[in-house]
Structures are given as structure tokens and as C-alpha cells.
């Protein structure tokens, strides 16, 4: 991503509805995954989690809690700009930071119980290679939890500013996961309120912003994170918390994100 985007992300991740809501959805799915893993395991020790592309680190506390007492979270990030912010979240034990490339993970085979990629896969040129590496470092029966942006037709300057290579379609992601050797347990759209809002924003707002070229696809001016009033911000967070509880039991049919839980075969 552009370095300035990391600063924006750091400023927004703890309170802006999109980040907080995504964290609520992922947290709910993680609880269900960890329940499944611990039911199968005879060990009382905590779990080993790997967060690929930890960004500015706002999700680390949530992941540490998910790992449980005696567990450990290893957070990997390629960008030194992001790592500087992520280090501010290391006030507690059970978390370590590593700078490395997701396509060449510096870990032994079968090192982790759970791997997470939260809006990371779209940043990687070779997503198949990345998933192969994830499978390698997961123990048999271990879980992958990820989120990605949905619908290639929603591609915009927002994606360019964040240095995305692609957005994902439901069936394409499903096939990608299976080809990488994963059994998909839950694949669902998320952010279900957003498709009509995203379409309206891209069709009727962005092209007419001051000093902005009409061809939005050829211009990157920063990620699109519109300011919303505090009551609306809180209401959106509550809605996404509810959405996470729904997704844990059945998939949603539309949304601007896709979330997936899969187990290594």
C-alpha cells in the first residue's frame, strides 16, 4: 500500500465502522473455528496463530485472546511502515512481530493451528503460491480464516490506492481454496449493506468530486473511507456484529467482502 495509507489505517482501525465491524465478524468466526479445533485436540495448551499481513496491528489483541492462555500469536508483515505502527500494540505478552514475505514464509511445516489473512490475499501477485505456503505451515486439520474484497466489477481508485491486484468472485475463491488443498467450511459474503452504497458512491459521487478525473479507474487519490456521523458509525458497527453472528451459522448471498474459513486436508 501507499505509505500514507498505513497512517490513515492506524488512525481509524480502533473506531471506524468498517474496521471495527470486520473485526467483529472475524472474531465471531474465529470463536467457532477454535471451538472445533479444541474439541479435536487432546492438548490443554493454547493455540499457535499466525496473522499474515498484520498491517498496523489493531487486530493483534483480538487474536491473542483467541489463542487462549498459553497460546501465541506470530504477526507477519512485509511493510516496515506498517510494522512501526504495529509495534505500538505489543504491550502484552503472547505476541511477536516478524518482517517477511507471505510468499516465502520463514516457518517450519505444520507450525500453526490457525492462520489468518484479513484483506491480504488481494495484495499478493501470486495468491495461489501464498495459499500453498499457508497450507504448508498449518498443521493437518488446522484452519485458515480470511477476508477479501468482493466483485471485480466494483474495482475503483480505492483498490488502486491500496495496491490491490484483484477483487474476488464467490466461485473463483471457492475454486482457489480447493485447488490449494483446503476443505471450505464457511464461505460467505459480508458487508451486506455495502453493494448498493458502493455502486452509488462510484457512479454518482466519485466522478464529480472536485479536481477528480472522470475516469476513476485510472486515478488513485487514496482509499475511499467516507466520514460518517458518530451515531451512524455506531449503528453500522452493531449491524456488522449481528451480521457476524448470522454468517457463523449460514452464508449471506451478497456483500462487498467475502469471508472464508477452511481447514487443511
Report percent pLDDT > 90 for the chain.
66
- Averaged pLDDT, 152-158: 84
The tens digit of pLDDT for each residue in 121-151 reads 999 999 999 999 999 999 999 999 999 999 9
Tell me: domain 3-264, CATH 1.10.3720.10, correct? Answer: no
The burial class, CB within 10 Å (0-12 / 13-18 / 19+), for 248 is middle
CA 253 – CA 237 distance, rounded (Å): 20
Q: Specify the pLDDT at position 39.
A: 82
The tens digit of pLDDT for each residue in 208-256 reads 665 544 443 433 345 667 788 999 999 999 999 999 999 999 999 999 9
The mean pLDDT value of the chain amounts to 88
Q: Which three cell numbers stand for residue 75?
A: 504477526
Vertex 78 angle, CA 28 and 146, to 5°: 25
CA 155 – CA 52 distance, rounded (Å): 24
Residue position matching grid coordinates 474476488: 168
pLDDT of 200 > 80? The answer is: no
The answer for residues whose C-beta is within 8 angstroms of residue 181's C-beta and 6 or more apart is 132, 135, 264, 265
Q: Specify the pLDDT at position 219.
A: 35
The tens digit of pLDDT for each residue in 77-120 reads 999 989 999 988 776 678 999 999 999 999 999 999 999 999 99
Contact 207, 141 (CB under 8 A): no
The tens digit of pLDDT for each residue in 164-191 reads 999 999 999 999 999 999 999 999 999 9
Q: Specify the pLDDT at position 173.
A: 98
Q: Which three cell numbers stand for residue 259?
A: 469471508
Q: Which three cell numbers stand for residue 199?
A: 455502486
Q: Specify the pLDDT at position 213.
A: 41
Amino acid at each position: 500500500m501507499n505509505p500514507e495509507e498505513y497512517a490513515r489505517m492506524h488512525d481509524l482501525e480502533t473506531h471506524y465502522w468498517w474496521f471495527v465491524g470486520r473485526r467483529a465478524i472475524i472474531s465471531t468466526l474465529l470463536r467457532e473455528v477454535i471451538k472445533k479445533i479444541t474439541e479435536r485436540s487432546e492438548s490443554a495448551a493454547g493455540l499457535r496463530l499466525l496473522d499474515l499481513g498484520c498491517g498496523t496491528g489493531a487486530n493483534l489483541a483480538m487474536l491473542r485472546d483467541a489463542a487462549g492462555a498459553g497460546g501465541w500469536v506470530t504477526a507477519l508483515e512485509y511493510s516496515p511502515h506498517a510494522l512501526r505502527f504495529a509495534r505500538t500494540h505489543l504491550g502484552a505478552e503472547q505476541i511477536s512481530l516478524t518482517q517477511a514475505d507471505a510468499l516465502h514464509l520463514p516457518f517450519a511445516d505444520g507450525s500453526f493451528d490457525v492462520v489468518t489473512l484479513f484483506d491480504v490475499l488481494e495484495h499478493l501477485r501470486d495468491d495461489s503460491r501464498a495459499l500453498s505456503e499457508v497450507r504448508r505451515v498449518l498443521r493437518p486439520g488446522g484452519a485458515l480464516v480470511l477476508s477479501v474484497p468482493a466483485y471485480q466489477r466494483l474495482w475503483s481508485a480505492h483498490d488502486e490506492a491500496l495496491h490491490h491486484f484483484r477483487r474476488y468472485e464467490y466461485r473463483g475463491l471457492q475454486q482457489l481454496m480447493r485447488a490449494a488443498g483446503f476443505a471450505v467450511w464457511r464461505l460467505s459474503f459480508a458487508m451486506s449493506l455495502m453493494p448498493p452504497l458502493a455502486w452509488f458512491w462510484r457512479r454518482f459521487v466519485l466522478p464529480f468530486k472536485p479536481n477528480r478525473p472522470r475516469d476513476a479507474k485510472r486515478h488513485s487519490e487514496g482509499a475511499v473511507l467516507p466520514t460518517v456521523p458518530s451515531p451512524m458509525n455506531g449503528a453500522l458497527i452493531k449491524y456488522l456484529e449481528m451480521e457476524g453472528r448470522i454468517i457463523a451459522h449460514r452464508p449471506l448471498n451478497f456483500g462487498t467482502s467475502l469471508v472464508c474459513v477452511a481447514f487443511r486436508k
